[in-house]
């Protein structure tokens, strides 16, 4: 069953001659444990798609369902609770709070959701440990490298029982090695059953996904078919299809 489902979702801004269609009739289904990448150029509508999927913005038409529940039927409070408990966001610019330590940043969404401080901190520490950042728990964002800050942002996004991870260009300005580390972490979360959507223009990042959806001018124009076993690449004997 799909954990996230977008059914014929459209979003437009402005009216009349000034109307701009950001996305049009987008269908997207993401199952638990699956990583889907949405690839498109700047202005293709991929960030709009992500904010609508994360209930941060209302679609003009169409329907979004998370965990089988339609967002249309939810009150503002219900949506806020859904965002705190179920959805984790990772942004290009990390968006960590500068005055809080790594651990406090990660534990914050749990505390906001009413979890007692000690329990929230324990869960935050567990998330940091999983990403190899326990030793940086008491450091502030400006004391960490870009790669470390993004790992803290991912820990914050997956802490607790979050089931849906939404990431907008999560490797940002990181180099390819750190970008790869970020994708490995997202994939690890998927292996625990998290459904994840990454929007990116970067084919190397997108290639970590189970499925890549291509967006052009706000429309889904294509998607990759699930790749066959990679061993296929290694069975042939030419350079265009090397073997291992």
Partner 1 sequence: MSVRHAILALLSEGPKYGLQLQKEFEASTGEVWPLNIGQVYTTLQRLERDGLVESDETENESPQKGFHITDAGSTELSSWLNTPSDTAAPPRDELVIKVLSALRVPGVSVHDVIQVHRRYLVELMQQWTRLKEDEADFDLTFALVVDAELFRLDSVVRWLDTADGRLKRAASEPPASSTTPRLARRLVVRR
Q: How far is the CB of 34 from partner 1 (least distance, A)?
A: 13
Place of tokens 């329907």: 63
Backbone angles phi, psi at 157, to 5 degrees: -75, -25
Q: Closest distance between partner 1 and the C-beta of residue 191, in Å?
A: 10
Whole-number minimum distance, CB 242 to partner 1, in Å?
4
**CA 71, CA 59: separation in Å to the nearest integer?**
10
Minimum separation from the CB atom of position 233 to partner 1 (A) = 5
Q: Which of 61, 176 has the CB closer to partner 1?
A: 176
Nearer CB in complex with partner 1: 114/239:
239
Alpha carbon distance 40, 200 (integer Å) = 7
Applying CB under 8 A, which residues contact partner 1?
39, 41, 180, 187, 201, 203-204, 206-209, 212, 214, 216, 221-225, 227-230, 232-234, 237, 239, 242-244
Q: Which is nearer to partner 1, 75 or 237 (CB)?
A: 237
The span from the CA of 107 to the CA of 102, in Å, is: 9
> In the chain, what is the straight-line distance between the N-terminal and C-terminal CA atoms, in Å?
36
Q: What is the β-pairing status of strands 35-39 and 195-200?
A: parallel
Of 232, 132, 114, the residue nearest 178 (C-alpha): 132
Is 153 or 181 the residue whose CB approaches partner 1 more closely? Answer: 181
Interior CA angle at 208 toward 179 and 33, to 5°?
Answer: 115
Whether 154 and 185 have beta carbons less than 8 Å apart is answered as yes
**What is the nearest approach in angstroms of partner 1 to the Cβ of residue 71?**
30
What 8-state DSSP symbol labels residue 155?
H
Residue whose CB is less far from partner 1, 43 or 193: 43
């Amino acid at each position: 069953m799909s954990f996230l489902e977008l059914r014929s979702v459209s979003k437009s801004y402005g009216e009349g001659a000034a109307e701009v269609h950001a996305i049009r009739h987008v269908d997207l289904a993401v199952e638990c444990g699956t990583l889907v990448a949405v690839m498109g150029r700047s202005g293709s509508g991929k960030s709009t798609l992500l904010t609508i999927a994360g209930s941060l913005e209302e679609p003009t038409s169409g329907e979004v369902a998370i965990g089988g529940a339609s967002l249309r039927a939810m009150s503002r409070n219900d949506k806020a609770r859904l965002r705190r408990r179920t959805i984790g966001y990772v942004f290009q610019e990390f968006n960590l709070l500068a005055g809080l330590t790594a651990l406090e940043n990660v534990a914050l969404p749990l505390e906001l959701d009413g979890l007692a401080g000690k329990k929230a901190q324990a869960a935050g520490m567990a998330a940091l440990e999983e990403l190899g950042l326990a030793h940086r728990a008491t450091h502030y964002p400006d004391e960490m490298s870009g790669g470390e800050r993004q790992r803290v942002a991912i820990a914050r996004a997956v802490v607790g029982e979050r089931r849906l991870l939404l990431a907008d260009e999560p490797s940002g300005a990181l180099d390819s090695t750190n970008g790869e580390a970020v994708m490995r972490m997202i994939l690890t979360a998927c292996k625990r059953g998290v459904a994840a959507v990454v929007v990116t223009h970067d084919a190397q990042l997108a290639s970590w996904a189970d499925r890549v959806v291509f967006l052009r001018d706000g429309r889904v124009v294509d998607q990759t078919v699930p790749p066959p076993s990679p061993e296929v690449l290694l069975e042939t004997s030419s350079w265009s299809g090397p073997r291992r």
